[in-house]
Structure 1
Amino acid sequence: MTGREIRLPETGLVVLVGVSGSGKSHFARRHFKPTQIVSSDFCRGVVSDDENDQSATGDAFDLLHYIVGTRLRRGLLTVVDATNVQTKSRQRLLALAKEHNVLSAAIVLDVPESVAAERNAARPDRADLPAHVLPRQRRELRRGLRSLGREFRRAYVLDGVEEIDAATIVYEKPWNDRRELTGPFDVIGDVHGCRAELEDLLTGLGYEIEHDARGRAVGANHPGGRTAVFVGDLVDRGPDTPGVLRLAMGMVEAGQALCVSGNHEAKLVKALRGRKVRVAHGLAESLEQLAREPEEFRADALRFMDGLISHYVLDGGRLVVAHAGLKEEYHGRASGRVRSFALYGDTTGETDEYGLPVRYPWARDYRGKAMVVYGHTPVPDAEWINNTICLDTGAVFGGRLTALRYPERELFSVPARETWYEPVRPLAAAPSATGGGGQRESDFLHIKDVMGNTGVETRLMGRVTVREENALAALEVMSRFAADPRWLVYLPPTMAPAETSSLPGYLEHPAEALAAYRDKGVPRVVCEEKHMGSRAVAVVCRDASVAAGRFGVDDGTAGALYTRTGRAFFRDPARTDEALARLRAAIGAAGLWDELGTGWLVLDCELLPWSAKAMDLIRVQYAATGAAARASLPMAADLLARAERRGLDLGGLRGHIDRRVANAARFRDAYARYCWDVDADGLGGLGIAPFQVLAGEDRAWATARDHDWHMDVAGRLADADPTGFVRRTGSLVADLAAPDADTAVAEWWEKLTAAGGEGMVVKPLGPFPADAKIQPGIKCRGREYLRIIYGPDYTEPENLERLRGRSLGRKRSLAMREHALGLAALDRLTGREPLWRVHQAVFAVLALESEPVDPRL
């Protein structure tokens, strides 16, 4: 016999209904994946170790409902294998489907009682099933069939064994799921009957408008293959609702556009069907205009509007279009609740001074990955709030008709030809998403964004987890000491040192750094001078207008300079302004604004001298140690010299003390090299050495260009600054296949460190092997600088041998994770993601700094 076709949603709830022995489990195994099936027998076994223990039924169904709810929340097809013959037993399952806004379907396996009894008798675990059970279940099944069609969106009754065995399953994708459409799209805001403005907008976007024999617009094709997407509210208020419908309907029918329903379409459909509605908010104008159209057109328009769905999920789930917006948990779901939210949004139940409902600001709390584009509530200007944007800029009220180009994230608008309809609330009085100081509430990082155990997603290392105790420590620093968070777009990562050297007298040496990259298959490296200063991140805007437009900072400042822990570098804002002015002038003189096509840059730098920021540390930790050693050790050496003159055998103790005296002097000289006087107010004595261009408008230069390019740009900045404030960072490129590479690099490093330099950082140059995890940089510090880190006597043989056992694994892991997070912050910044998403990665870098890693590394 021909099998009956059962059409099921790809995601949703499927409830199998049938008496014991009707073949539900066999049917489920035939048609569904094992992971999709939630069986009451299995759950009973989980909670009691016996699938037939009826005393465990209550706990088993608690577990079953928990599993079903979890799967439905995650958007997974879930098949419930239980008798489900009682209406009451199905109600909780249906409530779960409703709670998670998914479709439900029932499949009834109706077999003769004799067949069920024979099957049960053949099963050892059911051989003693009481005789009254099957008749009772069958009576309950027959009673329940009457209401099945009202309970479920779809209900199928398979009558008899042959029909059950011949049935086939066909899955249907939700109507709102158009993930296969990748665009590019032009999402168009509320048109409200403004046909002329719609034609102006489409023409400006590059569409070629098609006209019928009477000259009416009936379609619009884009030569570049773009697709228009209407956010709804095509109708009401404006002068030509039929003209807008005719154009939109033609575009949708020809595959040139998509359209979701707006609340005005929903209301107009009710009015055209003769249902009682309040004729207000422009509905009268639409009814009057449509009354002048032929009956055939009205029927087509009604059919079109009635068939519009609540929202579309596009581009692999990266774009969602809904008239009034949509919360993340509603994306791709289907229920009355979802449709209501998509059409009307969410309200607080209050009304404003104009008598209009106060909308709940769902976009402020939005944390979804998909971009949500919507309209519904007119705003003076389209504004990004988190990853959402409202495109209703009040064309019918004399504002503008606006479209969003996707994926470019570019806005395009045309002005209204006139004010067609007077708004109840003036456009200028539209609710703003910004708080004090121009910062949007959506920019704020919520505690739940960082305190969960889900981690931060990165391109390089997947999900990077931040422990709660580390997040708490970072929260304390951020909340009390951080610079203006709008500038806090990046924190630099730590770096791991080279493998411990086996060369006599050395703890670190270039040979190990080069070998590490050579072993990973890296062809070339660049060796960069490591200035002994304090790490500084500079965000430099071309002018205050760029700062206000791009970063939302409207206090007249045009950038920031902060430390690697996110604190403002200078307490005096005037010094910061002067430092940024010199950097800004150097960027302009080097021609980088135009060359890089940006009005702002983020630079990774070292600010010199070390003492400018670390004087308290030097005074307390290093100078005190040096002073104590220089005071006590010469006295001890003098006493030993006198004892030796008296003929006492000191067993080499005097030589040891003499070496310690010399080491103490070297220790003092080592840190003193990085300390000099600077002006208390201005920039006299200070210098800044950029070594990487991190980001600019729409481009993360940290990954877009190799490190030799960054060194070239850094050199150009130094050359362009006549004041000497911008310092050069020396560098050397080495081909790791060259036979003299190690010697050349070692000689260059020795020259740097002999002149008082801290050392160097070795960074890889591409192309990189695809299957290797590569450190972003390896630091190789000089012998005398390490004396500051490990103490005056670290070069003594017994100390050096002990230090060779230092463990670098945690430091390397930390460096890789922080680097991945830093790049994630830059990707999100240049991708114009909401500031809280940038801060999520920035905050994680600071949190990881609390991990228990030897700070000397």
Structure 2
Amino acid sequence: MNIDLPELSLIALVGISGSGKSTFAREHFKPTEVLSSDFFRGLVADDENDQSATKDAFDALGHIAGIRLRAGRRVVIDATNVQKHARAELISLAKSFDVLPVAIVIDTPEAVAWERTQNRADRDFGRNVLKRQSQDLRRSLRELGREGFRKVHVVRDPAEVTITYEKAWNDRRELTGPFDIIGDVHGCRAELETLLGELGWTLIRDEAGRAVDAAHPRGRRAVFVGDLVDRGPDSPGVLRLVMGMTASGNALCVPGNHEQKLLRKLRGKNVTVSHGLAETLEQLSSETTEFVESAAQWIHDLVSHLRLDGGRLVVAHAGLKESYHGRASGRVRDFCLYGESTGETDEYGLPVRYPWARDYRGAAMVVYGHVPTPKVEWINNTVCLDTGAVFGGELTALRYPEKTFVAVRAERTYYEPIRPLADAESARDNETLDLTDVTGRRHVRTEYGTVIVDAENSAAALEVMSRFAIDPRLLLWLPPTMSPPSTSTVEGYLEYPTEAFADYRAAGVDTVVCEEKHMGSRAVVLVCRDSAAARFGVDGSGAIYTRTGRAFFTDATLTETLLDRVRAAAAPLFDELESDWLLLDCELLPWSAKAAGLIRTQYAAAGAAARSALPAAVAALDAGLARGLDLGELRARTAARTENAAGFTAAYRRYCWPTTGLDGLQLAPFALLAAEGTSYADRHHGWHLDISDRLVAADPATFRRTGRRIVDLSDPAAEAEATAWWLELTAAGGEGMVIKPYAGLAHRANGKLVQPGIKCRGREYLRIIYGPDYTAPDHLTRLRDRTLSRKRTLALREHTLGLAALDAVATGEPLWRVHELVFAILAMESVPTDPRL
């Protein structure tokens, strides 16, 4: 006996105590799939036979079953289930998650069950209990199907049972495309034929010249979102073509509400003939009875929605929220056909649809039609392809996975719309954010790995985002933190290039680029070709923001003026890269331009105090020495501290100079992160620096060049030359250098992401970080015990999120997804780490 079960189902084992249900479950299902009432009684009462705990046990069992069903996992209920009320709860549970309930009856003779029961020490009840259960079971056998179980299997010999699983009819995940997904046709056969031609399809005609199939030379498959009929001039012609394409395997189709209404009419149901149905019936009256009957059967066999390409693509006529993907119920089918109504009607008498797409957060792309719009726009990874061809608009197709649109204009207006298409809301206006996307403890999944964001860090980020950050629609990426190299053993140095090269070599990187580290403030520049090109839905032509998402300048005029300069220098790039916007990673100099308040309160104050106090202390110690006091060691130490304080002051002063407006400011770009449709994370750093050099050449007053050295880590001479360059830079007052894998931001070594950059800072610059006296031998010894693992882990987590954000921007993912990733980077900023690293 073979039992064929739906892959996603709730399976109720039905049988008296001792019938062998648990043994059957162990032999045929995974242990995690089976939820036993005995186990849950033991869980809540420490006694599997405590019948007084049954209610609590089934409450707990139902809760766990619901969690599994919500996640799309099979559930097997191991309980007697011989009473109708117990089964009713299971059927209700299955329906609430839109899965199919199945009953497997283990019909073991009562005598056999009683013999087994007597041999079990944990079963202490009389045979009258089994007799009553057996009577309940006999009454139940005739009722199971009517109660709501989709399938009922009666097993009398469990040893002969095999189990197989059938896929849901909507499960076509094995089909990976490429697809041409076509919007609502509504009887516009001529436009459909034209669109197929534009998509590269070849029409196949019968002896009467009618299109009865179409084939694509590159093996593409068409997918129709439904509403093939009504209102237009040739609904039979559209049906004939699409039916032929599906029969040959060249197309798939889901039903629309207009097909469903037509089917009910053809099957003799009482329906209101409106919204174009009259035209379709009149057109079908000229067709043969055989054609009309075959069309009705074809419509009847259409599946409510389709899951394609491994579940990454879902096609349903009116769309489908994530919890319904792959499910089977009348509720799911109704949503696919009609959407979800609020119960209200608008001023045109049409139902007000619940805007499910605004709340959609699923990973699968949902493509649908049903509600005509003047143009196609993405809303949260969903897109409506009904662009009102029958109303004089366009017939539109989506090429998948390319995510490009092809449309043809309607030859004329065939039907006047009740509601003007121009009244449709802009999809961009509907792209809203939700606090639940970013708050609480979150597991943010990306192609590069999963990053856990703790609730307290999310709360800190929310404070920054809500009070200080720029508009999230412009906040496309935030830079990751950078870790220093392993601590140096070179005398007098805490950081040295030797260790940085060794760190990357140990990680499996073979070539690095050493970039001059500018002492300024990190600035991310989003520049649009012009204000009209700002596709981000906000006023202005871009943004300049800090690594914590704040506007770099409080004066909007300064921002726009600097953006104008960047735009002018980048003018050739817009055409070359076929983009109306560019995202640049830069350093804005001087440091004092952004950090003047910090410098005054934290550094200048300390320097001024030291310069005032220490020389006076040296003078007092000199006076004591003159009187013969033993103060030589203290005097030497204080004199050294005086020199260190002078070095400390000189160090931070090198990075400060006066600016007025933009005069005195310079922007040092070192990476072009993204443009329309493209992330450049996979480009090598030589490419990024060449782009940066072009900006410098175009406007050397605004832009500063970034010096660099490329180092083959297998070449000691190249390392020595780069180290000498670093010593020269730092001796001249430079901060140091940043060492990066030359292959690019997304470079993996040994299958893993590596540090995006290791900063190697100069000896004198580190006085600003660790204090004037950090070079004292005892201080250096203590600092060499610093731990870098937390900082490096944080850098990789932020880098992972940043790469995913660039990919999301490039592929046009919805705003909430980009925001989720960037928000998580911002949340990482509040993870406690040593700020000096």
Q: Counterpart of 2:341? A: 347
- Residue 11 to residue 261, structure 1, CA distance change in 2 (3 Å): same
The structure 2 residue matched to 1:507, chosen from 470, 476, 494, is 494
Residues of 1 paired with 2:113 and 2:633: CA distance? 99
Shift of 1:410: 0.6
Instruction: Give the conservation status (yes or no) of the 8 Å contact 1:365–1:442.
Output: no
Counterpart residue identity of residue 20, structure 1: S
Residues of 1 paired with 2:152 and 2:710: CA distance? 72
Alignment of 1:557-596 (within 5 A): 557-588=540-571, 591-596=572-577
Q: Counterpart of 1:617? A: 598
3-state SS of paired residue (1:728)? coil
Residues of 1 paired with 2:148 and 2:103: CA distance? 7
Shift of 1:772: 4.8
Instruction: Give the conservation status (yes or no) of the 8 Å contact 1:110–1:157.
Output: no
Q: Counterpart of 1:110? A: 107
Q: Counterpart of 2:444? A: 456
Alignment of 1:321-720 (within 5 A): 321-434=315-428, 440-444=429-433, 446-460=434-448, 462-547=449-534, 550-553=535-538, 555=539, 557-588=540-571, 591-679=572-660, 681=661, 683-702=662-681, 704-720=682-698
- Residue 726 to residue 443, structure 1, CA distance change in 2 (3 Å): farther
3-state SS of paired residue (1:451)? coil
Residues of 2 paired with 1:42 and 1:827: CA distance? 47
- Residue 779 to residue 121, structure 1, CA distance change in 2 (3 Å): same
Residues of 2 paired with 1:48 and 1:280: CA distance? 61
- Residue 154 of structure 2 corresponds to residue 158 of structure 1: yes
The CA deviation string for residues 713-748 of structure 1, in whole angstroms up to 9 with x for no partner, is: 222221222x42111000001111112233212111
The CA deviation string for residues 801-826 of structure 1, in whole angstroms up to 9 with x for no partner, is: 22111121111111111111111111
Counterpart residue identity of residue 537, structure 1: V
The CA deviation string for residues 89-143 of structure 1, in whole angstroms up to 9 with x for no partner, is: 10111111000000111111222222222222233323x4312111101111111
Q: Counterpart of 1:437? A: none
- Residue 835 of structure 2 corresponds to residue 827 of structure 1: no
Residues of 2 paired with 1:521 and 1:87: CA distance? 65
The CA deviation string for residues 409-437 of structure 1, in whole angstroms up to 9 with x for no partner, is: 11111111111011111111123344xxx
Alignment of 1:149-228 (within 5 A): 149-158=145-154, 160-161=156-157, 164-228=158-222
Instruction: Give the conservation status (yes or no) of the 8 Å contact 2:4–2:165.
Output: yes
Instruction: Give the conservation status (yes or no) of the 8 Å contact 2:12–2:102.
Output: yes
Residues of 1 paired with 2:211 and 2:218: CA distance? 20
Instruction: Give the conservation status (yes or no) of the 8 Å contact 1:219–1:250.
Output: yes
3-state SS of paired residue (1:422)? coil
Shift of 1:153: 4.0
Residues of 1 paired with 2:188 and 2:376: CA distance? 18
3-state SS of paired residue (2:122)? helix
- Residue 836 to residue 157, structure 1, CA distance change in 2 (3 Å): closer
Residues of 2 paired with 1:430 and 1:698: CA distance? 26
Residues of 1 paired with 2:423 and 2:154: CA distance? 60
Instruction: Give the conservation status (yes or no) of the 8 Å contact 2:91–2:149.
Output: no
Instruction: Give the conservation status (yes or no) of the 8 Å contact 1:209–1:217.
Output: yes
Alignment of 1:770-785 (within 5 A): 770-772=750-752, 774-785=754-765
3-state SS of paired residue (1:604)? strand
Counterpart residue identity of residue 679, structure 2: A
Alignment of 1:252-271 (within 5 A): 252-271=246-265
Residues of 2 paired with 1:375 and 1:456: CA distance? 31
Residues of 1 paired with 2:440 and 2:263: CA distance? 45
Q: Which deviates more from structure 2 when the two are superposed, residues 363-372 or residues 735-744?
A: 735-744
The CA deviation string for residues 40-84 of structure 1, in whole angstroms up to 9 with x for no partner, is: 122222223332233332222222212211111111111111110
Instruction: Give the conservation status (yes or no) of the 8 Å contact 1:106–1:152.
Output: no
Let me know the Cα RMSD of the aligned residues. Answer: 1.4
- Residue 310 to residue 452, structure 1, CA distance change in 2 (3 Å): farther
- Aligned-pair identity in percent equals 63
Instruction: Give the conservation status (yes or no) of the 8 Å contact 1:400–1:413.
Output: yes
Q: Which deviates more from structure 2 when the two are superposed, residues 401-410 or residues 710-719?
A: 710-719
- Residue 790 of structure 2 corresponds to residue 810 of structure 1: yes
- Residue 702 of structure 2 corresponds to residue 725 of structure 1: yes
Q: Counterpart of 2:75? A: 78
Residues of 2 paired with 1:159 and 1:12: CA distance? 18
The structure 2 residue matched to 1:312, chosen from 306, 309, 330, is 306
The CA deviation string for residues 454-479 of structure 1, in whole angstroms up to 9 with x for no partner, is: 3211232x211111111111111111
Residues of 2 paired with 1:302 and 1:772: CA distance? 55
- Residue 153 to residue 203, structure 1, CA distance change in 2 (3 Å): farther
Shift of 1:537: 0.2
Residues of 2 paired with 1:773 and 1:544: CA distance? 37
Counterpart residue identity of residue 676, structure 1: W
3-state SS of paired residue (2:765)? helix
3-state SS of paired residue (1:7)? strand
Instruction: Give the conservation status (yes or no) of the 8 Å contact 1:324–1:344.
Output: yes
The CA deviation string for residues 470-506 of structure 1, in whole angstroms up to 9 with x for no partner, is: 1111111111111122211011111011111111111
Residues of 1 paired with 2:292 and 2:443: CA distance? 54
Residues of 1 paired with 2:527 and 2:427: CA distance? 26
Alignment of 1:10-25 (within 5 A): 10-25=7-22
Shift of 1:157: 4.3
- Residue 773 to residue 192, structure 1, CA distance change in 2 (3 Å): closer
Shift of 1:514: 0.7
Instruction: Give the conservation status (yes or no) of the 8 Å contact 1:707–1:765.
Output: yes
Instruction: Give the conservation status (yes or no) of the 8 Å contact 2:618–2:639.
Output: yes
The structure 1 residue matched to 2:142, chosen from 146, 158, 183, is 146
The structure 2 residue matched to 1:839, chosen from 816, 819, 822, is 819
- Residue 259 to residue 771, structure 1, CA distance change in 2 (3 Å): closer
The structure 1 residue matched to 2:56, chosen from 54, 59, 63, is 59
- Residue 135 of structure 2 corresponds to residue 135 of structure 1: no
Residue-pair matches, total: 834
Instruction: Give the conservation status (yes or no) of the 8 Å contact 1:38–1:79.
Output: yes
Residues of 2 paired with 1:612 and 1:527: CA distance? 25
Residues of 2 paired with 1:743 and 1:97: CA distance? 69
Residues of 1 paired with 2:263 and 2:306: CA distance? 20
Alignment of 1:223-262 (within 5 A): 223-262=217-256
Instruction: Give the conservation status (yes or no) of the 8 Å contact 1:443–1:834.
Output: no
Residues of 2 paired with 1:432 and 1:531: CA distance? 44
Counterpart residue identity of residue 160, structure 1: R
Instruction: Give the conservation status (yes or no) of the 8 Å contact 1:239–1:420.
Output: yes
3-state SS of paired residue (1:783)? coil
Ranges in structure 2 where 5+ consecutive residues have no aligned partner: none
Residues of 2 paired with 1:397 and 1:142: CA distance? 60
Ranges in structure 1 where 5+ consecutive residues have no aligned partner: 435-439
Residues of 2 paired with 1:131 and 1:106: CA distance? 25
Counterpart residue identity of residue 470, structure 1: N
- Residue 9 to residue 145, structure 1, CA distance change in 2 (3 Å): same
Counterpart residue identity of residue 710, structure 2: V
Shift of 1:159: 5.7
- Residue 487 to residue 157, structure 1, CA distance change in 2 (3 Å): closer
Residues of 1 paired with 2:230 and 2:755: CA distance? 60
3-state SS of paired residue (1:35)? helix
Residues of 1 paired with 2:688 and 2:614: CA distance? 47
3-state SS of paired residue (1:125)? coil
3-state SS of paired residue (1:338)? helix
Shift of 1:773: 5.1
Instruction: Give the conservation status (yes or no) of the 8 Å contact 1:509–1:780.
Output: yes
